[in-house]
Amino acid sequence: MTDIKKIAEMLQDNEIVVLKSFKKKSADRIREIKSLKPIEFLRAGMWLENKGLIKTTKIKKKFATLDILGKRYVKASLPEIKLIALLKKGPKTLEQLRRFLSADELRFALGYLKKRSAININKGVLSITSYGRSTKITLEGKFLLILAQKGELALDNIEPQDLHAYLELKKRKQLVKEVEKQEISFKITELGKQVAENVPSGRRIGLITPAIIRSGDWKKQPFRRYDVEAGVPAIYPGKKQPYLAFLDDARAKLVELGFKEMNGPLIETEFWHFDALFQPQNHPAREWTDTYTLKYPKQGDLPKNKKQLAAVKKSHEGSWLYSWNPEKARQLTPRAHGTALSARWLGQGCQDGKYFAIARCYRPDVIDATHAIEFNQVEGIVVGDGLTFRNLLGTLKQFAIEFAGADKVRFLPDYYPFTEPSVQLDAHHPEMGWIELGGAGIFRPELTNPLGCKKPVIAWGLGIDRLAMFKLGIKDIRYLFSTNIDWLRKEKVV
Amino acid sequence: MPTIEISKKDLEKLAGRKLKNLADELENAKAELENQDGDVLKLDIKDTNRPDLWSVEGIARQLSKDKGCPNYKVKKSKYVLDVSKKVNRVRPRIAAAIVKGIKVTDDLIRELIQLQEKVALTFGRKRKEAAIGVYDFDKITWPVLYTTVSPHGIRFVALDMTAAMTPLQIMAKHPKGREFAYLVEGYEEFPLIIDRAEQVLSMPPIINSNHTGKVTEKTKNLMVEVTGYDDKFVQASLNVMAAALADRGGKLEEVTINYDNKEIIETPNLAPKKAKVKIETIQKLAGEDLKPKEIISLLRKARYNAKQVGKLIEVEYPAYRQDILHEVDIVEDVLIAYGYNNFEPEVPKLAVHGEETELEKFSRKVREIMVGFGAQEVATFTLTNKDNLFKKMNITEREFERAVEIENPVSSNWSCLRNWLLPSLMDFLSKNTTKEFPQRIFEVGEIVKINPKAETKTDTLKRLAFAFSNLRVTFTNAKQTLEALGICLGIKFTVKESEHSSFIAGRVGEIRAKGEIVGVIGELHPRVLEGFGLSVPVVGFELELNKIL
């Protein structure tokens, strides 16, 4: 089957009407088709143009159309014509005429008719001249009627005699106005002409309806061919948020590796946030991370476990040589690090095991492409008798392989106020190169002992947001929480 | 994290050896090479609790060809610094050292200022706990007095100024005065260091005088002084400064600090400190059978003196190390000296099984069902503001419930934690008014509610919010989704008409399940739409997942 024929068979009914009308009208350009509504006409034209069968030209054109007063005078006739009609019945005084015409109308009509010697004014009495008597309608009046009939007239299409009337009317207020409109016209292409010759005759099935199926019409009539290669409007399925989907994967991986999830409150007391983590109340270590303070509510409660509380106080006072203030420990703060959650968890028991949390955290940082107002920390602890530094490295190496697909890992000395020793984990990502993936260490005994835990506790944290950004192909961390629905709709599922 | 700039040539000279794998070697001093520009190395020092590492001298010491604890000699001297009891009310502690015979160059001055600033800023908490002054020793007439002075009580020329001013004028006019004035706020008198000849040395913790407090290339001998509240910070800071200057060839001499004849101490005290660590502790923590001899050699590399005494290792370490509180601090130095990357990583062998929380499992189930309904999941911030939570939602905080409020927000846009979730979705829709409709979105997210009975006075709860915006949406659309969700979860939701001014009256209800109110559903009020700049109608609901778990 030739392409021409194929195209012809794909045409919809309205397209066929448009295409055929070129031949029927033997016109070069068409601007409308009576049997089609303007919207149908335009849409069919658009489809035809997409197929290369016609060419659309859009021209901005000026049209004359009736204005408010103009519309009224079409019904009630122009004031000058009204005046003539009145005077034809006999001379009248101005007083008398005022009953029929407004002051403005009268003033204009007098001027207009006097200029044309259609009336005489003598001592306040108006009478008609013979020229006036022969006048039935003016050029302006005629033009108004034409305009009323056609609705609008392209300015470049107005007859010369009408043009004068139009210009006169335009000088008067609110009789006619000029509007600019786009005029669309179609011109058939060479391909269009060939296709027009091949348009199939007879009915074809477009939309299949239950009636067509039941009636068996489909056995008799051909189906209209569709352009299956054409573009279609987009639809958007329900989808997970890409970053949350990424975190789901991370969570699944951690569960797979034997980690149990911990949870805790977004608003934390400084006790669990700092004191339980052996951060002295007045030491630079406590400023290792800037934190928010609350205006409301300000203070929480200290833990009910008095033994723990006394032990934390003793640990601080013994090591840091200051007087520990329980009031300070009651201050509330939005969680700034997930380690607060690990401390709370450890305070509830010291069960052997591997634990993790994906914790929303807050820091009063500058906000830019690398700092969001809030972020998620993936972190946790490993508790067990006899855990060693090598176990710490083993845990980290496993993360590097599982999360970053690392082919190499590197461990660097690091510093965290609550771990000793402390390690930085660098992973060599096959595509990103060396990245700092996490920080970890073994909790200080001054931290674990007061909480009633005599075992070594490995504490770890992973910075996986950079991996998420890499996977999602974004450069700005704020996009992890994108408010652009189009991006969410169009981002691939990872 | 302190960042310092040092000269590589200088570093190698001080260390007494060439550093081949510079970046790797630097890790032993917890320093990360940020960049190298010719001879200039820019380093990030990761340990915020080791000010002794924040200088080229400190890094060099750690990487030195020398082993064992560095030995600093401090000569006895006759120089006395008297401390008036008046300072007890303002800034009670001071320590000082004299450094003689040092060759002062531009480079040294720059180094000195860098170290002084880093120590005072990070370790000294912006000069609060430790403010450091360096002086031209030869311009001082001894003894020196540390006392206080009234805000108008004296006039002197502050560093880099020409005119004499009173302390109060300096606070108002000198850049450093303005920067640090808050440190002496509320003091009736200001701290002052002055010599026998009535020459002002400085007004700690604010500014030195231009006379004695200015160090130039002509300076031959120095006096260093640190003031603060606690000898732990004051003496540690002085020791860091003194050790660095001694490494440069300076000869240290003592200053006798006389606290009103009640307490007399000599500073700096650079005698090594002593500690003990069990060999077993090191071996157990390392997970490596390190022999005592090897441990001793590693400790010497880390600049300790060490010897075995039975099952213990006895160590001596330099006085500038104030960070060693526990055996584990010494163990870390052994591990670093051994080389972290020389250990064989080993995954812990624990009989455990992984598990999510029940709430998390349930949340995921809900999210997957919502996705099945064709809704787009969104993730928004839990931080928001009262405008979004209340005003735009056409409710008042008083009639609704109070939100957690931040005292020091970075921006007023993020000054509250949300106490319900729908406003986040409305805010999201307001950012997408020009995008294609229908917009069907949901979020499962955390909110924070006040609870006076809770330990943290708040409850962190998980909620589901759903919003559907389209040219033709009605209450029915929201209720259909809710009921379908109920069927999927096996929960019977009922809707009882209620009042809520975020929604149109007569088109809002509370959602009930398991005998309690678990949420709200309705058509959002046009005033709410107007508030968020929306012109397409929205219906939605919010459900508390903790309650239907």
Q: Where do the structural domains in chain A lie, given as residue ranges?
A: 3-62+182-220, 66-176, 243-490
Query: Which residue in the set A264, A421, A483 is minimally distant from B335, CB to CB?
Result: A421
Sign of CA dihedral A239, A242, A243, A247: positive
Residue where a domain terminates, one of B297, B313, B340: B340
Check B359 against A263: CB less than 8 A apart.
Answer: yes
Token digits of residue B132: 């450091």
Which structural domain range is residue B9 located in? 3-63
Banded pLDDT at A286 (limits 50, 70, 90): low
Q: Give me the number of domains chain B comprises.
A: 4
Token digits of residue B147: 């006392």
CATH number at residue B84: 3.50.40.10
Specify the range with the lowest mean pLDDT, choosing from A60-69, B371-380, B444-453, B465-474. A60-69
Q: Are B477 and B500 in a shared domain?
A: yes
Check A238 against B32: CB less than 8 A apart.
Answer: no
CATH architecture of the region A3-62+182-220: Orthogonal Bundle (1.10)
pLDDT of A285: 52
CA distances from A422 to A70, A170, A281, B105, B308 (A): 89, 88, 22, 38, 26
Average pLDDT over residues A220-247: 90
Does a structural domain hold residue B53? Answer: yes
Closest CA–CA distance from residue B64 to any residue of chain A (Å): 18
Closest CA–CA distance from residue B11 to any residue of chain A (Å): 20
Average pLDDT over residues A306-324: 93
* DSSP states of A416-432: BTTEEEEEEEEEEETTT
Question: Cβ contacts (< 8 Å) between A248 and chain B: which residues?
Answer: 364
pLDDT tens across A331-381, in order? Answer: 999 998 999 999 999 999 999 999 999 999 998 877 788 888 899 999 999
pLDDT tens across A408-429, in order? Answer: 999 999 999 899 999 999 999 9
Specify the range with the lowest mean pLDDT, choosing from A369-373, B2-6, B163-167, B291-295. A369-373
- Output the CATH code of domain A243-490: 3.30.930.10
B90: helix, coil or strand? coil
Q: How far apart are CA B521 and CA B539, in angstroms?
A: 8
Q: Are B48 and B10 in a shared domain?
A: yes
Query: Which residue in the set B27, B329, B457 is minimally distant from A412, CB to CB?
Result: B27
Does a structural domain hold residue B124? Answer: yes
Check B331 against A257: CB less than 8 A apart.
Answer: no
Check B405 against A485: CB less than 8 A apart.
Answer: no
pLDDT higher than threshold 70 for residue B457? yes
B13: helix, coil or strand? helix
Q: Are B333 and B363 in a shared domain?
A: no
Please name the residue of chain A whose CA is at the shortest distance from the CA of residue B333: A421
pLDDT of A284: 58
Please name the residue of chain B whose CA is at the shortest distance from the CA of residue A304: B455
CB B323 within 8 A of CB A369: no
CB B443 within 8 A of CB B509: no
Question: Cβ contacts (< 8 Å) between A396 and chain B: which residues?
Answer: 345
Query: Testing the interface with A: which of B328, B353, B357, B464 to mutate, by most A Cβ within 10 A?
Result: B328
pLDDT higher than threshold 70 for residue B20? yes
Q: Are B293 and B231 in a shared domain?
A: no
pLDDT of A104: 85
Question: Cβ contacts (< 8 Å) between B459 and chain A: which residues?
Answer: 265
Nearest to B199 by CA among B234, B160, B164: B164
Q: How far apart are CA B348 and CA A255, in angstroms?
A: 15
Reported pTM? 0.81
Does a structural domain hold residue B219? Answer: yes
**Residue reference for tokens 């009248």:** A92
CA distances from B479 to A279, B44, B545 (A): 51, 57, 17
Question: Cβ contacts (< 8 Å) between B48 and chain A: which residues?
Answer: 284-285, 288, 415, 417
Q: Are B244 and B387 in a shared domain?
A: no
Provide the β-strand partners of residue B383: B417
Residue where a domain terminates, one of B21, B37, B63: B63
The share of chain B scoring above pLDDT 70, in percent, equals: 100
Q: Which helix (H) or strand (E) holds A197?
A: helix A190-197
Check B402 against A287: CB less than 8 A apart.
Answer: no
Token digits of residue A209: 């309806």
pLDDT of B351: 87
pLDDT higher than threshold 60 for residue A1? no
pLDDT: which is higher, A141 or B384:
B384
Check A382 against B286: CB less than 8 A apart.
Answer: no
Token digits of residue A368: 């830019």
Residue where a domain terminates, one of B267, B292, B323: B267
Check A294 against B406: CB less than 8 A apart.
Answer: yes
Check B455 against A257: CB less than 8 A apart.
Answer: no
3-class SS letters over chain A: CCHHHHHHHHCCHHHHHHHHHHHHCCCCEECCCCCCCHHHHHHHHHHHHHCCCEEEEEEEEEEEEECHHHHHHHHHCCHHHHHHHHHHCCCEEHHHHCCCCCHHHHHHHHHHHHHCCCEEEECCEEEECHHHHHCCCCHHHHHHHHHHHHCEEEHHHCCHHHHHHHHHHHHCCCCEEEEEEEEEEEEECHHHHHHHHCCCCCCCECCCCHHHHHHCHHHHCCECCCCCCCCCCCCCCCECCHHHHHHHHHHHHHHHCCCEECCCCCEEEHHHHCHHHCCCCCCHHHHCCCCCCEEECCECCCCCCHHHHHHHHHHHHHHHCCCCCHHHHHEEEECCCCHHHHHHHHHCCCCCEEEEEEEEEECCCCCECCECCEEEEEEEEEECCCCCHHHHHHHHHHHHHHHHCCCEEEEEECCECCEEEEEEEEEEECCCEEEEEEEEEEECHHHHHHHCCCCCEEEEEECCHHHHHHHHCCCCHHHHHCCCHHHHHHCCCC
CB B507 within 8 A of CB B522: yes
Amino acid letter, residue B304: Y
Check A294 against B405: CB less than 8 A apart.
Answer: yes
Check A353 against B352: CB less than 8 A apart.
Answer: yes
CATH number at residue B7: 3.30.56.10
CB B140 within 8 A of CB B225: no
Check B459 against A265: CB less than 8 A apart.
Answer: yes
Same fold, A66-176 and A243-490: no
Q: Are B370 and B500 in a shared domain?
A: yes
Question: Cβ contacts (< 8 Å) between A487 and chain B: which residues?
Answer: none
Query: Which residue in the set B328, B360, B367 is minimally distant from A444, CB to CB?
Result: B328
Specify the range with the lowest mean pLDDT, choosing from A387-396, B64-73, B117-126, B129-138. B117-126
Q: Are B155 and B261 in a shared domain?
A: yes
Query: Which residue in the set B332, B346, B371 is minimally distant from A421, CB to CB?
Result: B332
Does a structural domain hold residue B333? Answer: yes
Q: How far apart are CA A236 and CA A246, in angstroms?
A: 20
Question: Cβ contacts (< 8 Å) between A292 and chain B: which residues?
Answer: 406-409
Query: Testing the interface with A: which of B1, B123, B352, B407 to mutate, by most A Cβ within 10 A?
Result: B352
Does a structural domain hold residue B401? Answer: yes
pLDDT higher than threshold 80 for residue A283? no
Check B326 against A420: CB less than 8 A apart.
Answer: yes
pLDDT of A118: 85
Check A360 against B232: CB less than 8 A apart.
Answer: no
Query: Which residue in the set B32, B286, B448 is minimally distant from A266, CB to CB?
Result: B448
* CB proximity list for B259: less than 8 A, separation 6 or greater: B83, B85, B265
Question: Cβ contacts (< 8 Å) between A423 and chain B: which residues?
Answer: 340
Q: Are B180 and B142 in a shared domain?
A: yes
Q: How far apart are CA B355 and CA B425, in angstroms?
A: 30
Question: Cβ contacts (< 8 Å) between B287 and chain A: which residues?
Answer: 388-391
Query: Which residue in the set B344, B374, B428 is minimally distant from A390, CB to CB?
Result: B344
Query: Testing the interface with A: which of B350, B397, B405 to mutate, by most A Cβ within 10 A?
Result: B350
Query: Which residue in the set A267, A382, A411 is minimally distant from B341, CB to CB?
Result: A411
Q: Are B141 and B228 in a shared domain?
A: yes
A-B contacts at Cβ under 8 angstroms: 275
Cis peptide preceding A364, ω within 30 of 0: no
Q: Are B82 and B8 in a shared domain?
A: no
Q: What is the mean pLDDT of chain B?
A: 95
Check A394 against B346: CB less than 8 A apart.
Answer: yes
Q: How far apart are CA B83 and CA B193, in angstroms?
A: 9
Check A393 against B460: CB less than 8 A apart.
Answer: no
Check B381 against A481: CB less than 8 A apart.
Answer: yes
CB A452 within 8 A of CB A441: no
pLDDT higher than threshold 80 for residue A259? yes
Tell me phi and psi for residue A283, to 5 degrees.
-145, 145
Question: Cβ contacts (< 8 Å) between B377 and chain A: which residues?
Answer: 238-241, 244, 488
Q: What is the mean pLDDT of chain A?
A: 89
Closest CA–CA distance from residue A429 to any residue of chain B (Å): 18
* CB proximity list for A295: less than 8 A, separation 6 or greater: B405, B406, B407
CATH of A66-176, one of 1.10.10.10, 3.40.50.1580, 3.40.50.300, 1.10.8.60: 1.10.10.10
* CB proximity list for B17: less than 8 A, separation 6 or greater: B63, B64, B65
Check A267 against B457: CB less than 8 A apart.
Answer: yes
Q: How far apart are CA A348 and CA B534, in angstroms?
A: 48
Check A374 against B383: CB less than 8 A apart.
Answer: yes
Nearest to A403 by CA among A461, A490, A330: A461
Question: Cβ contacts (< 8 Å) between B481 and chain A: which residues?
Answer: none
Closest CA–CA distance from residue A14 to any residue of chain B (Å): 28
Question: Cβ contacts (< 8 Å) between B286 and chain A: which residues?
Answer: 388-390
Q: Are B209 and B328 in a shared domain?
A: no
pLDDT of A288: 46
Does a structural domain hold residue B465? Answer: yes
CB B474 within 8 A of CB B506: no
Please name the residue of chain B whose CA is at the shortest distance from the CA of residue A262: B357
Closest CA–CA distance from residue A231 to any residue of chain B (Å): 17
